[in-house]
Amino acid sequence: MKKREFYRLHSDVCKTLANPKRQEILDYLRTGEMTVNQLVDRMKISQANISQHLSILRSKGIVSVRREGINMFYSLANPKIIEAFDLISHVLKDSLADQTQTVSAAMKMKKE
């Protein structure tokens, strides 16, 4: 695979994850598989909306599904996605902390 094709695929996965609802779904699935109804109960959004997001995540290979009777159980296709999710979260928290320190320092200087 050429680098440009890899970058395009990488970008597609990042775009898929660049949605707050999908990030919330991933955060819930980190603890194990869940049904759509369990996600509806936790997220307080419609079943249709969650199903749409799960379909997108599934089409990109981020979640997998298994059927048991009438229930569909969703889980992370690869747990490494949570490692990436957590790494980005840590970077964001560090950045927010730096911004807060910068604003605090600027406010302190303004008062002096």
Q: Are residues 45 and 58 in the same domain?
A: yes
Q: Are residues 57 and 37 in the same domain?
A: yes
Asked if 29 contacts 57 with a C-beta cutoff of 8 angstroms, the reply is no
Sheet holding 34-35, edge to edge: 34-35, 71-76, 63-68
Q: Give the model confidence (pLDDT) of 43-54 as tens digits.
A: 999 999 999 999
Measure the CA–CA gap between 95 and 112, rounded to whole angstroms.
26
Q: Are residues 13 and 52 in the same domain?
A: yes
Q: Are residues 8 and 62 in the same domain?
A: yes
Q: Which pTM value belongs to this model?
A: 0.81
Q: Are residues 83 and 64 in the same domain?
A: no
**What stretch of H or E contains 65?**
strand 63-68
Q: Give the model confidence (pLDDT) of 27-86 as tens digits.
A: 999 999 999 999 999 999 999 999 999 999 999 999 999 999 999 999 999 999 999 989
Please count the structural domains in the chain. 2
Other CB atoms within 10 A of residue 51 CB: 15
Print the domain residue range for 43. Answer: 1-78
CATH number for 10: 1.10.10.10
